[in-house]
Amino acid sequence: MNNVQEISKQNESYRRGVLLLAGWVSAVMSLFLYPFVFGMLAVISGILATKNNKSRIGVYLVVFSILLMGIGLAFSKNILSDVYRR
């Protein structure tokens, strides 16, 4: 029974890590492509990562994804023109 609990904890840890990685990638992508879509994906990933345990990393992900999504929405034309100009 103890092995089952350890495997369950490892699976949960792996799932949380994948959610956090996907969230951070989505948060950064919200600066460049479809800020609202990728920003909301990052927020949802952060919320799901902090759902069962109170991880601060997920909370940071939610806050930074909202900030990056706002920056992406405000400056989307300026950022894209700078990226494509190079």
DSSP state of 75: S
pTM across the whole model: 0.76
CB atoms near residue 75 (< 10 Å): 14
What single letter denotes the amino acid at residue 45?
S
Question: Ramachandran region of residue 18, left (φ > 0), alpha (ψ -120 to 50) or beta?
Answer: alpha
Return per-residue pLDDT of the chain as tens, 86 residues: 567 666 666 677 788 888 889 999 999 999 888 888 999 999 999 888 888 776 788 889 899 999 999 998 888 776 666 666 65
Give the chain's length. 86
